[in-house]
Amino acid sequence: MVEVTQVKEHSPAQKAGVQAGDILLSIDGHDIRDVLDYRFFTAAARLSLYLHRGPDLLTLTLEKGEEEDPGMEFATPLMDKKHACRNGCIFCFIDQLPKGMRSSLYFKDDDTRLSFLHGNYVTLTNLSDADVERIIEMHISPVNISVHTTDPDLRVKMMRNKRAGEVLKYLRRFADAGLSIQGQIVLCRGINDGEALTRTLTDLSGYFPALESVSVVPVGLSDHREGLFPLEPFTKEDARAVLGQVNGMGDEFLRRFGTRLVYCSDEWYLTAEEPLPPESYYEGYPQLDNGVGMLRSLLEEVAQFFAEHPHLRTRPRTVSIATGMAAAPTLARITEELCARCPSLTVHVYPVRNDWFGHRITVAGLLTGRDILAQLRGKPLGDELLIPPNALRAGEDVLLDDMTTADLSAALGVPVRAAGENGRQLLLALMGADGHRRRAARRCPHEP
């Protein structure tokens, strides 16, 4: 049972007589425990709601269009507390956070419901057989799974959870039930690479076609690993070996299944100093949120924009963009072509070292306001400074260290805002043609 905190005006729930403060006990006789139950059992057009209102129990009939939102809101999106992680993974990035950050960043979640709602990857160790049965009954997919290895003993060692090996059986149950599976492998040097990786990818291919894709990403190592499991970064030679191994197996899967199944994230190509694959390699970018193909996708979006707009013009303008060390060369390449097409435009690309987490962290999404401020203070910034949108808390203008874009703007003396979410929006923002008013703007995961 869950409390209704708000009822949307003119919604089916309001028309049915639901009120804020009502306790929702069941829908069509099914107990409601969380958002999964709620979404599954509200799919029908006619619903019987059993509610507790003050001292009274009542039944209301709600009518709506199929797939229409009933209009009830609850205290949290999950209608429940997040499930905390029960693992002690040797590569956990939250364990590597410096002290003094906002408390919410230190919470480790491992909640399958967030997999369905937001695409989070989960380890399955929080699931019981009953939880698995509910997922199968509701046919909720895809299930996004942090696999890391299919060797049960090695998985226990890596995740420091005695259930980590046995829950791999749920992969087969999901596949046999026709659910879609997306996989993730965080690769640790000397731990689950080499022969262990070959075994993992071979085993996972046995779940095709339920298994739709697997990403292989390198472990993220900050400078705050005192007392943690000793892990070493991958070298250029290591990265080249991983690319050869993974892409070789991907070529074989492509011949057998018509799809690569497994993809290397962008970091491997940057570390190996190898060119990015063509767009066809990524097969529609199924693992984009895991950093697989982000740079290629950006380049393709930019190329398409240039093809659609061969004659670009803008008023005289100078703008700067801050980014992580990894993406800086790609952004420099893009802005060089943009400025060649718009001679009145000047763009400064500033790679920002990650002094907060450590120089081995090069992604733009983990930049902090204090690093941007320290390294750009006194630099020519022009009319405004653009920063990566993924460096900000979702829906807000706050960076990881709680510095806001308004704080940066005041300290640097220029408006600061997020660049666009894609290649087209980025180019328009650089040109000042995205309709954004010029003003001073206001405003980790366990695994990298």
CA distance 242 to 177: 33
Q: How many CB atoms sit inside 10 A of residue 439's CB?
A: 11
Average per-residue pLDDT for the chain: 92
Q: How many CB atoms sit inside 10 A of residue 399's CB?
A: 25
CB 381 within 8 A of CB 320: yes
Average pLDDT over every residue of 161-182:
96
Average pLDDT over every residue of 275-290:
95
Instruction: State the residue for tokens 């057989």.
Output: 129
| Beta strands 211-218 and 262-264, pairing class | parallel
Confidence tier at 436 by pLDDT (50, 70, 90): low
CA distance 138 to 381: 53
CB 365 within 8 A of CB 391: yes
390 DSSP 8-state letter = G
3-state secondary structure 126-137: CCCHHHHHHHHH
Q: pLDDT tens, 285-316?
A: 999 989 999 999 999 999 999 999 999 988 99
pLDDT value, residue 447: 41
Average pLDDT over every residue of 386-406:
92
pLDDT value, residue 108: 80
Listed ranges 77-86, 257-266, 439-448; the one with the highest mean pLDDT:
257-266
In this model, does residue 221 exceed pLDDT 90? yes
> Domains in the chain and their CATH numbers?
2-74 (2.30.42.10), 94-290 (3.80.30.10), 298-431 (3.40.50)
pLDDT value, residue 124: 94
Q: pLDDT tens, 315-361?
A: 999 999 999 999 999 999 999 999 999 999 999 999 999 999 999 99
Percentage of the chain modeled with pLDDT above 70: 96
In this model, does residue 33 exceed pLDDT 90? no
Confidence tier at 114 by pLDDT (50, 70, 90): confident
